[in-house]
């Protein structure tokens, strides 16, 4: 038997505490705890970034860190969709739509974000489309039009097998060379609703339906590039499940059994046999898809009686020596009052919430400090505060500047401002031009305020900087609007989404400020207003808002484009948050939420970014 030193090149060391960043294969003896430790393999399903729409029967391909999804069924109806998107391992970003809207379509499971195909789908079409990284183009049709088939392979070496070709399932199998389809060896049975994975010369077809209404089977077959052979049965029966992997190690999951029993089971193929493993999907459903060439995989969408219109769910399957904790919103302490139009500043462990409109009451003149655990009532706002509450804020919990309206209206002037020093509010110099529903970024001594309105029909593109004493007019926004989300600093700010009227228009526009001028950035994935933003110009999130209904959506910006992130638990708009808060310390408190009066909330939520840590495990010395 080989010695550990000969295998890994070093001896097992004795330490009094675990190493901060252990490496795969490394082992050590912790003398404090008296145990032998190393990194153990962990297997788990974890929640990924939400998809752009509710969907089921979607095409999916590529690895977890660079996947692509297209088509499917979704609301209203559900109806065939033509939406397409790319996944970067944490969120989805929209790309050009496929040319023909359809669901239940097949795809190149081993495709990439620059080389991917979809084929077949609704109405038993044979239509094939290819994605080259920038556009979709049509190529040779399947010889047998079909939907609900298993697929595998890459752009230039694809495979489609089984499926529904009216009026029944088919055993037909076809190979794709990147241009046209040619006939291959037939499966051992006519089957549809089957799932597949692998390559053109080493693929597996698993489960499906052989003709009995709503009854899944556990058949499996393997293709070697020439012929199909029967394999042992999958460890559970299902149809419309997802899958990923290869012929040495693969996984099948979810689907429905008989009659209409929806599953969250995961079955593993070891290369010789199938077995059910403990790791289950977060929710039972069918008509979802999976992709991934190895042990890591991605699952998208799905439907069930509880989720009839599909879902935005994305789940990642991992098997490695790391523990992945998904990004999420979690509950914080309730804001002191259920209020809308709350302003705020600072990260969640040192935040301030300012003013707001409680239900059926005049605006409050209080500010509240938050330490990440509890809110405490602090100072009364400065004397110049008007009766319409407060607006955008730049700065921190102990040093911020807040836009306000001048007391004494109506008519309201919206030119006042107030400064907070961590204990009390004082009047700041009035702004040279008034506005409400504006956005802010930066600090007390280097602040930036932009956009807004002077009336419901007059939106502004005004930009004002603040140096701690004086206001200065800066270069105007490209698009006049109100209700933007603001984030970043004075010389690198981000303004996102918003609203203009007339005509009443919700916007996706993103603009970046470099200290002298505004330039257009990547468009937000949803047109909305009155959401909030946190972070920097190259690492921000935008969350909540109205479309016009209040939403839970969260999106992340990398300096170029927006992608989806986990959603808020409570839909809301016009709530408190911190514009310069790092993404990992973002928060949202109070605000409007959907429904009839009372329609204000006092809930607080915290955003936590995805994290990865080594799975330190104790090993036996026996």
Q: What is the pLDDT of residues 435-463, one digit of tens each?
A: 999 999 999 999 999 999 999 999 999 99
How far apart (Å, rounded) are the C-alpha atoms in residues 599 and 597? 5
Q: By percentage, how much of the chain surpasses pLDDT 90?
A: 79
Mean of all residue pLDDT scores within the chain: 93
* 357 and 304 within one domain: no
Residue at 330 is within a domain: no
DSSP assigned state of 87:
E
Which of 297, 324, 351 terminates a domain? The answer is 324
The pLDDT tens digits for 94-111 are 999 999 999 999 999 999
The pLDDT tens digits for 368-379 are 999 999 999 888
Residue at 525 is within a domain: yes
- Which of the four pLDDT bands, split at 50, 70 and 90, describes residue 6? low
pTM of the entire predicted model: 0.86
* 180 and 48 within one domain: yes
Residue at 620 is within a domain: no
Closest CA to 407 of 447, 437, 369, 365: 365
- Name the maximum alpha-carbon separation found in the chain: 88
**Stretch 282-295: mean pLDDT, rounded?**
92
* 383 and 279 within one domain: no
Residue at 265 is within a domain: yes
* 306 and 412 within one domain: no
The whole-number pLDDT of residue 615 equals 84
The whole-number pLDDT of residue 1 equals 54
How far apart (Å, rounded) are the C-alpha atoms in residues 204 and 281? 21
- Which of the four pLDDT bands, split at 50, 70 and 90, describes residue 406? confident
**Stretch 47-58: mean pLDDT, rounded?**
93
* 49 and 34 within one domain: no
- Which of the four pLDDT bands, split at 50, 70 and 90, describes residue 24? confident
CATH no. for residue 234? 2.120.10.80
Residue at 618 is within a domain: no
* 482 and 451 within one domain: yes
* 567 and 588 within one domain: yes
- Which of the four pLDDT bands, split at 50, 70 and 90, describes residue 388? low
**Stretch 113-132: mean pLDDT, rounded?**
97
Residue tagged 């655990």 (tokens): 373
Task: Tell me which of 94-98, 224-228, 234-238, 284-288 is least confident.
Answer: 284-288
* 105 and 82 within one domain: yes
Residue at 617 is within a domain: no
Which of 291, 324, 357 terminates a domain? The answer is 324
Name the domain count of the chain: 3
Domain around 255: 44-324
* 316 and 461 within one domain: no
* 345 and 318 within one domain: no
* 57 and 30 within one domain: no
Q: Which of 156-177 are b and which e, b meaning 16 or more Cβ less than 10 Å from the residue's Cβ? A: ebbbbbbbbbeeebbbbbbbbe
Query: What are the tokens at 80?
Result: 């065939």
Residue at 622 is within a domain: no
The pLDDT tens digits for 180-189 are 999 999 999 9
Residue at 614 is within a domain: no
The whole-number pLDDT of residue 573 equals 95
* 271 and 217 within one domain: yes
Mind giving me the DSSP string for 73-117?
EETTTTEE---EEEE-SS-EEEEPPPSS--SS-EE-TT-BTTBEE
**Stretch 307-325: mean pLDDT, rounded?**
89
The whole-number pLDDT of residue 215 equals 92
- Which of the four pLDDT bands, split at 50, 70 and 90, describes residue 150? very high
The whole-number pLDDT of residue 413 equals 76
């Amino acid at each position: 038997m080989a010695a550990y030193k000969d295998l890994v090149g070093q001896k097992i060391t004795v330490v009094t505490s675990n190493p901060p960043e252990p490496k795969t294969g490394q082992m050590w003896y912790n003398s404090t705890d008296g145990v032998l430790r190393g990194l153990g393999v962990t297997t788990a399903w974890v929640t990924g970034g939400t998809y752009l729409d509710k969907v089921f029967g979607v095409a999916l391909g590529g690895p977890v860190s660079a996947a692509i999804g297209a088509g499917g069924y979704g609301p209203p109806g559900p109806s065939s969709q033509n939406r397409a998107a790319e996944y970067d391992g944490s969120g989805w970003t929209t790309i050009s739509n496929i040319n023909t809207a359809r669901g239940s379509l097949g795809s190149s499971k081993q495709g990439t974000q620059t080389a991917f195909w979809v084929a077949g789908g609704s109405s038993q079409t044979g239509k094939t489309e290819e994605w080259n990284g920038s556009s979709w183009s049509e190529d040779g049709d399947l010889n047998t039009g079909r939907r609900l088939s298993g697929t595998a392979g890459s752009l230039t070496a694809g495979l489609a097998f089984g499926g529904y070709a009216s009026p029944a399932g088919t055993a037909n199998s076809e190979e794709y060379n990147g241009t046209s389809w040619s006939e291959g060896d037939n499966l051992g049975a006519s089957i549809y609703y089957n799932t597949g994975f692998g390559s053109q010369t080493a693929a597996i077809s698993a489960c499906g339906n052989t003709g009995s209404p709503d009854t899944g089977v556990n058949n499996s077959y393997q293709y070697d590039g020439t012929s199909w052979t029967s394999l042992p049965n999958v460890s559970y029966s299902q149809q419309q499940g997802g899958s990923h992997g290869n012929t040495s190690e693969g996984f099948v999951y979810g689907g429905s059994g008989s009659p209409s029993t929806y599953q969250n089971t995961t079955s593993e193929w070891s290369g010789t046999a199938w077995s059910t493993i403990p790791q289950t999907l977060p929710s039972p459903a069918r008509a979802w898809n999976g992709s991934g060439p190895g042990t890591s995989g991605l699952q998208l969408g799905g439907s069930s009686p509880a989720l009839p219109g599909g879902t935005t769910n994305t789940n990642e399957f991992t098997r490695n020596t790391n523990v992945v904790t998904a990004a999420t919103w979690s509950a914080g302490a309730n804001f002191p009052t259920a209020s809308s139009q709350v302003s705020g500043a600072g990260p969640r462990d040192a935040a301030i919430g300012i003013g707001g409109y409680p239900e059926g009451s005049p605006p409050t003149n209080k500010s509240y400090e938050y330490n990440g655990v509890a809110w405490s009532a602090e100072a009364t706002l400065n004397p110049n505060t008007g009766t319409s509450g407060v607006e955008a804020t730049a700065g921190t919990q102990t040093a911020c500047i807040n836009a306000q309206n001048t007391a004494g209206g109506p008519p309201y002037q919206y030119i006042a401002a107030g400064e907070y020093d961590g204990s009390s509010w004082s009047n700041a110099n009035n702004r040279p031009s008034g506005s409400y529903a504006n956005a802010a970024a930066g600090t007390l001594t280097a602040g930036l305020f932009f956009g807004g309105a002077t009336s419901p029909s007059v939106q502004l593109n005004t930009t004002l900087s603040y140096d701690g004493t004086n206001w200065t007019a800066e270069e105007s926004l490209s698009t006049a609007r109100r209700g933007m989300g603001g984030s970043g600093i004075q010389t690198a700010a981000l303004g996102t989404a918003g609203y203009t009227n007339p005509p009443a228009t919700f916007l996706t526009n993103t603009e970046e400020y470099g200290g002298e001028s505004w330039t257009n950035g990547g468009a937000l994935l949803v047109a909305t207003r009155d959401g909030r933003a946190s972070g920097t110009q190259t690492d921000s999130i935008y969350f909540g808002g109205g479309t016009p209904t209040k939403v839970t959506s969260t999106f992340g910006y990398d300096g170029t484009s927006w992608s989806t992130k986990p959603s808020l638990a409570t839909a809301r708009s016009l709530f408190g948050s911190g514009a310069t808060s790092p993404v990992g310390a973002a928060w949202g408190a109070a605000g409007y939420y959907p429904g009839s009066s009372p329609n204000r909330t006092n809930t607080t939520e915290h955003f936590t970014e995805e994290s990865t840590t080594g799975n330190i495990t104790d090993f036996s010395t026996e």
